Amino acid sequence: MNVLEYPDRELLMLSLADRLAGELADFLRREGRASFCVPGGTTPGPIFDTLSGVDLDWANVAVFLNDERWVPESNPRSNTRLLRERLLRGNARLAHLVPLYAEAETPEPMLETLAEGLRPHLPISVLLLGMGADMHTASLFPGADRLAEALSPDAPILVPMRADAAGEPRITLSAPVLAGAMNIHILITGADKRAALERAAHLSPLEAPVAAVLKNATVHWAG
């Protein structure tokens, strides 16, 4: 496991934003387009703030979430809402948001449509993931109802997910789609997540879902 430790969170957020921007710029130079897959939750906001001001060819960047909570954007728990408020502004307002939510009571009827929107943007050029202290990443939660399916090598692009710890129903990119990204970064802060990550390295993805993406990932940590 490749872990980079930073002296403090501010430096972590600035350095990682710079690295992500550099990787996106490389893809844009070489291929004329790039896909950028990002987490929701409470941790990545400062990285989004920095990236939104970076001078990139954002019009050729497709941005999408690792996972979404099945709630409309009016709900403060919406990860899409976080993206709009913190990332898709300033220079990055020109990026193309590929949705992981559509108005429907449950994710199931919308899965195919949402997956079709993602397909042209795979494999992911640059993937940033978060992790919970319970070792979930994206919405791959330990004990979730469809975790085994989402971890399987022939999993579909998107899998609906329900877990006690998740709150509302979720939709998540599956493990093979995440692990197939060209550049993988995991952002964690605090002693509890660092300890959880060390544990995950010795567990199976069914016990510790983040283990499914650790092999080629760089972990970025500050206390």
Ligand X SMILES: O=C1O[C@H](COP(=O)(O)O)[C@@H](O)[C@H](O)[C@H]1O
List the end-to-end C-alpha distance of the chain, in Å, as a whole number: 18
By C-alpha distance, which of 149, 72, 73, 77 is closest to 105?
Answer: 72
By C-alpha distance, which of 121, 123, 138 is closest to 63?
Answer: 121
For residue 160, state whether it binds ligand X (rule: CB under 6 A).
no
Contacting residue, 132, 142, 205, 209, with ligand X by CB under 6 A: 132
190 three-state secondary structure: coil
Contacting residue, 35, 71, 101, 130, with ligand X by CB under 6 A: 130
Site size for ligand X (CB under 6 A) = 12
For residue 169, state whether it binds ligand X (rule: CB under 6 A).
no
For residue 174, state whether it binds ligand X (rule: CB under 6 A).
no
Task: Supply 163's token pair.
Answer: 């877990």
For residue 39, state whether it binds ligand X (rule: CB under 6 A).
yes
Comparing CB distances to ligand X, the nearer of 66 and 125 is 66
Contacting residue, 17, 36, 56, 67, with ligand X by CB under 6 A: 67
For residue 42, state whether it binds ligand X (rule: CB under 6 A).
yes
Report how far residue 156's alpha carbon sits from residue 137's, in angstroms, rounded to the nearest whole number. Answer: 17
Contacting residue, 50, 52, 66, 78, with ligand X by CB under 6 A: 66
For residue 78, state whether it binds ligand X (rule: CB under 6 A).
no
For residue 41, state whether it binds ligand X (rule: CB under 6 A).
yes
Q: Are 214 and 135 in contact (CB under 8 A)?
A: no
Comparing CB distances to ligand X, the nearer of 16 and 28 is 16
The phi and psi torsions of 89 (rounded to 5 degrees) equal -135, 180
The residue to which tokens 């899409």 are assigned: 80
Contacting residue, 12, 24, 37, 43, with ligand X by CB under 6 A: 43
Instruction: Give the E-state strand segments of 82-216 in sequence order.
Output: 96-97, 126-129, 158-161, 170-173, 183-189
Q: Which residues bind ligand X (CB under 6 A)?
A: 39-43, 66-67, 79, 130, 132, 138-139
